[in-house]
């Protein structure tokens, strides 16, 4: 059976690990969603958060970072869509 190996560049891993440390401080969307895989880790002491981030394998670190990027994208898209809908309703109200 063939195994699929993903090659990760050192730059990708370093970027993901640095970003992960920041994500352990706060969610960039502006709140602490309870469904976030990092939620429970954000509750710990800062030193413990850093130790945890450093303890992750390169592959897991990059996967967590990629998950965050996709999640943030969905939330930004949803927020933008919601704002557009509100603007359309306001304009429609002005025109009627």
pLDDT in tens, 8-49: 688 888 999 999 988 888 888 877 788 888 888 888 898 999
Nearest to 62 by CA among 26, 4, 28, 11: 11
CA distance 68 to 90: 33
* Residue 20 included in any domain: yes
Q: Which domain holds residue 69?
A: 11-95
The answer to whether position 38 is within a domain reads yes
- The verdict on residue 4 lying in a domain is no
Cα separation, 20 vs 55, in Å, equals: 12
**Residue 42 falls inside a structural domain:** yes
Structure tokens at 91: 């304009």
Residue 1 lies in a domain: no
For 61-70, write each residue's pLDDT tens digit: 999 999 888 8
Instruction: Answer whether residue 5 is part of any domain.
Output: no
Q: Is residue 69 part of a domain?
A: yes
Distance of CA 72 to the CA centre of its chain: 5
CA angle 30, 73, 22 (to 5 degrees): 50
Give pLDDT, residue 51. Answer: 92
pTM: 0.67
Task: Read off the pLDDT of residues 53-87 as tens digits, 9 standing for 90 and up.
Answer: 999 999 999 999 998 888 888 877 766 666 666 66
Split into its structural domains, the chain has a count of 1
2 occurs within a structural domain: no
């Amino acid at each position: 059976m063939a195994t699929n190996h993903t090659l990760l560049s050192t730059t990708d891993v370093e970027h993901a690990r640095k970003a992960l440390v920041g994500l352990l401080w706060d969610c960039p969307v502006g709140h602490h969603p309870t469904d976030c895989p990092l939620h429970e880790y954000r509750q710990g002491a800062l030193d413990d958060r850093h130790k945890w981030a450093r303890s992750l394998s390169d592959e897991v670190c990059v996967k967590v970072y990629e998950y965050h990027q996709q999640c943030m994208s969905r939330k930004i898209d949803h927020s933008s869509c919601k704002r557009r809908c509100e603007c359309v309703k306001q304009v429609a109200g002005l025109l009627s």
